[in-house]
């Protein structure tokens, strides 16, 4: 059971067990004129056979069934995409972009790293558990692709569902749930707990699946659909919601996990996404961001390029509980002398929670570890470990500032031999001595503050969504409204005055992220780049592209 938000009120909702874990890399968006394209067809209830017949009648090819989400894979022409979507038997068509496996650890003999071993022995989180600190009372916001209430995340009040800001928000069978799969894997690393684990002074009794902060709570804000598609304006809106609601109705959001990034090169001083992350930091939320999966010579992804936040790179534990044999991941971004990785955490071949029955689960059976578990790699996973560690610290010392949390984690890190400072920052995270380390009195970061007055298009980098073959580009948000940095930066980012006008429309006010504001008339009468927008298009069926490409959602592949 999870909790969801409705107009600022928390209401209980039983969430169906659906869809599955995909830690996939989506290559560049295809040209709209290319044909055919691979899609996932979600059929109306009881209409799978009819929907398959419609695809074949249109000249398409039907692939494997995805029974758990009442869907199937298919190949259709681009010209038939919209006409099939209009049929009553079809709920949606989602582009099923091909998967690019990056190959560094896909060989059968590669060592896989169990979360429990990494958490308890590599990070030494046992020290906190034994002292009675398990993350209880700390909420961790996860802006991602949603979270499934699978075993390990299923017990009451474990997941609070914030607004669904994704292109699937109007589908009652998909809203809040992780159709892409990325968020479920992150949630397992951060806060997984299947209730068979025991946290006693003697760890000999510990068993079952366990994340870093097993008694913390996940606040899920979904921004990505089944293809990983989203726009920067959706992510900024999600950070907006987290800042405003961090202490609403019993919430205590102290950590924000951002396991994604764009390839933007705009200065953090101007970039709207980097500024949004900094605003959350200024309001007492520890923001943990994945560094990127572009390789060791690459600069940090946005918003990790903001020096205030914690930028996390990836290391490989190599299947052991010892850290002496750990190695630096060759896919992990390092950065520059001006801005580089702050800390490393395990991110390679990490075993975490699986959601059976999805496209990835069907397409990549070798990534299955068991009925419950799945394996994947990326700086996404590394960021999740650090988010859990921050929650442990905050459960022990609730008055810590984000700057103090960052100082404690980096000061206690262990440098890796032979790895440059650019690539590892302070070194590999280690909680051995943190539990007894004194709180730093002088830990205030003095970087220049950002303004957010730069370009929204600049924040996107090369990552865009499209509708009917038209890119969402320029200074326009997903509503088609003109984006003006000065209308939402500065005083409007106060955390308590999210005026609707700051988002060029009343539906962006904090109190209206209730679901109803995302349906019907809220989406009509907008036009961007020559393509008309209407509420009926907001099912996600007419969206394609690689808003978060191979290195957008920062998990690099299966292991």
- CA–CA distance, 248 with 246 (Å, rounded to integer): 6
- Please state the domain count of the chain: 1
Q: Spot the catalytic one: 145, 352, 380, 489.
A: 380
pLDDT at site 70: 66
> Edge-to-edge strand order for the sheet containing 37-43?
61-66, 71-76, 37-43, 90-95
Q: Which helix (H) or strand (E) holds 71?
A: strand 71-76
Cβ(312)–Cβ(345) below 8 Å: yes
Q: Which residue segment(s) compose the domain that 493 sits in?
A: 461-545
pLDDT at site 556: 55
Q: Tell me how crowded residue 547 is: count the other CB atoms within 10 A of its CB.
A: 30
Nearest to 145 by CA among 229, 211, 72, 69: 229
Token couple for 341: 């990785």
3-state secondary structure of 411: helix
pLDDT at site 509: 30
- CA–CA distance, 556 with 559 (Å, rounded to integer): 9
CA dihedral 77, 81, 83, 87 (to 10 degrees): 120
Q: Is residue 477 part of a domain?
A: yes
Q: Is residue 505 part of a domain?
A: yes
Q: Which helix (H) or strand (E) holds 348?
A: none
CA dihedral 355, 357, 358, 362 (to 10 degrees): 120
Q: Is residue 411 part of a domain?
A: no
pLDDT at site 304: 96
- Residues whose CB falls within 8 Å of the CB of residue 90, separated by 6 or more in sequence, listed in order: 41, 42, 43, 44, 47, 51, 54, 84, 541
- CA–CA distance, 60 with 221 (Å, rounded to integer): 35
- CA–CA distance, 205 with 120 (Å, rounded to integer): 13
pLDDT at site 75: 83
pTM for this one? 0.76
DSSP state of 285: -
Q: Tell me how crowded residue 260 is: count the other CB atoms within 10 A of its CB.
A: 32
Q: Is residue 244 part of a domain?
A: no
Q: Tell me how crowded residue 372 is: count the other CB atoms within 10 A of its CB.
A: 20
DSSP state of 59: T
- Residues whose CB falls within 8 Å of the CB of residue 238, separated by 6 or more in sequence, listed in order: 143, 162, 163, 165, 221, 223
Look up 240 and say whether it is catalytic. no
Residue 142 burial by Cβ neighbours in a 10 Å radius (0-12, 13-18, 19+): buried
Alpha helices in 146-262 (DSSP H): 182-191, 232-245
pLDDT along the chain (559 residues), means of 10: 38 22 26 54 85 90 68 76 78 50 31 77 87 95 91 89 88 83 90 66 54 95 83 91 93 95 92 95 97 94 96 84 76 96 92 68 70 84 96 98 98 94 95 94 94 92 77 83 67 34 29 30 27 30 32 53
Unique residue bearing structure tokens 């980098």: 461
Q: Spot the catalytic one: 144, 164, 178, 271.
A: 144
Q: Is residue 492 part of a domain?
A: yes
pLDDT at site 87: 86
Nearest to 181 by CA among 559, 456, 558: 558
Token couple for 247: 């202490």
Q: Assign residue 124 a region: left if phi > 0, alpha if psi is -120 to 50, beta otherwise?
A: left
Look up 182 and say whether it is catalytic. yes
pLDDT at site 270: 94
* Angle of the 379-396 helix axis to the 182-191 helix axis, nearest 10: 40
pLDDT at site 466: 75
pLDDT at site 227: 72
CA angle in degrees (0–180, nearest 5) for 272-166-187: 90
- Residues whose CB falls within 8 Å of the CB of residue 172, separated by 6 or more in sequence, listed in order: none
Q: Tell me how crowded residue 442 is: count the other CB atoms within 10 A of its CB.
A: 7
Token couple for 4: 């969801």
Q: Is residue 515 part of a domain?
A: yes
Q: Is residue 484 part of a domain?
A: yes
pLDDT at site 551: 35
Look up 271 and say whether it is catalytic. no
Q: Tell me how crowded residue 21 is: count the other CB atoms within 10 A of its CB.
A: 33
Q: Spot the catalytic one: 80, 182, 245, 352.
A: 182
Q: Tell me how crowded residue 89 is: count the other CB atoms within 10 A of its CB.
A: 18
Q: Is residue 208 part of a domain?
A: no
């Amino acid at each position: 059971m999870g909790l969801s938000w409705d107009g600022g009120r928390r209401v209980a909702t039983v969430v169906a067990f659906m869809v599955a874990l995909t830690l996939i890399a989506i290559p560049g968006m295809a040209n709209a004129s290319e044909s055919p394209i691979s899609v996932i067809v979600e059929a109306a209830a009881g209409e799978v056979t009819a929907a398959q017949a419609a695809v074949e009648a249109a000249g398409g090819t039907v692939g494997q069934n995805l029974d758990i989400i009442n869907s199937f894979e298919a190949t259709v022409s681009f010209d038939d995409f919209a006409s099939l979507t209009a049929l009553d038997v079809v709920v949606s068509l989602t582009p099923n972009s091909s998967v690019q496996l990056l190959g560094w650890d896909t060989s059968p003999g590669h060592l896989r790293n169990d979360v429990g071993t990494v958490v308890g022995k590599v990070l030494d989180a046992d020290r906190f558990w034994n002292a009675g600190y398990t993350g209880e009372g700390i909420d961790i916001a996860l802006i991602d692709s949603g979270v499934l209430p699978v075993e390990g995340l299923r017990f009451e009040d474990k997941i609070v569902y914030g607004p669904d800001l994704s292109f699937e928000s109007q589908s009652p069978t998909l809203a809040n749930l992780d159709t892409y799969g990325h968020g479920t894997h992150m949630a397992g690393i951060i806060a997984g707990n299947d209730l068979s684990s025991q946290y006693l002074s003697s760890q000999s009794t510990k068993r079952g699946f366990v994340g870093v902060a097993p008694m913390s709570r996940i606040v899920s804000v979904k921004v990505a659909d089944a293809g990983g598609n989203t726009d920067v304006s959706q992510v900024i809106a999600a950070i907006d919601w987290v800042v405003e609601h961090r202490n609403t109705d019993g919430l205590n959001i102290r950590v924000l996990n951002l396991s994604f990034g764009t390839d933007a090169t705009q200065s953090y001083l101007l970039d709207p996404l980097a500024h949004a992350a900094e605003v959350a930091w200024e309001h007492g939320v520890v923001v943990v961001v994945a560094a990127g999966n572009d390789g060791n010579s690459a600069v940090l992804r946005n918003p990790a390029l903001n020096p205030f936040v914690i930028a996390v790179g990836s290391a490989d534990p190599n299947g052991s509980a010892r850290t002496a044999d750990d190695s630096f991941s060759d896919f992990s971004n390092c950065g520059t002398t001006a801005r580089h990785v702050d800390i490393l955490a395990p991110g390679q071949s990490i075993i975490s929670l699986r959601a059976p029955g999805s496209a990835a689960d069907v397409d990549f059976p070798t990534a299955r570890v068991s009925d419950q578990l799945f394996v994947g790699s990326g700086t996404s996973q590394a960021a999740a470990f650090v988010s859990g560690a921050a929650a442990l610290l905050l459960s022990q010392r609730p008055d810590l500032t984000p700057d103090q949390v960052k100082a404690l984690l980096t000061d206690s890190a262990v440098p890796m031999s032979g790895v440059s400072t650019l690539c590892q920052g302070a070194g590999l995270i280690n909680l051995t001595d943190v539990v007894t380390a004194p709180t730093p009195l002088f830990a205030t970061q003095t970087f220049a503050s950002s303004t957010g007055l730069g370009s929204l298009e600049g924040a996107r980098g090369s990552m865009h969504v499209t509708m009917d073959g038209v890119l969402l580009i320029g200074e326009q948000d997903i509503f088609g409204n003109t984006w003006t940095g000065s209308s939402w930066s500065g005083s409007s980012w106060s955390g308590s005055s999210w005026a609707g006008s700051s988002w060029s429309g009343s539906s962006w006010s904090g109190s209206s992220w209730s679901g109803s504001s995302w349906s019907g008339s809220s989406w009509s009468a907008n036009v961007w780049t020559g393509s008309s927008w209407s509420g009926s298009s907001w099912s996600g069926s007419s969206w394609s592209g690689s808003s978060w490409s191979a290195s957008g959602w920062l998990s690099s592949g299966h292991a």
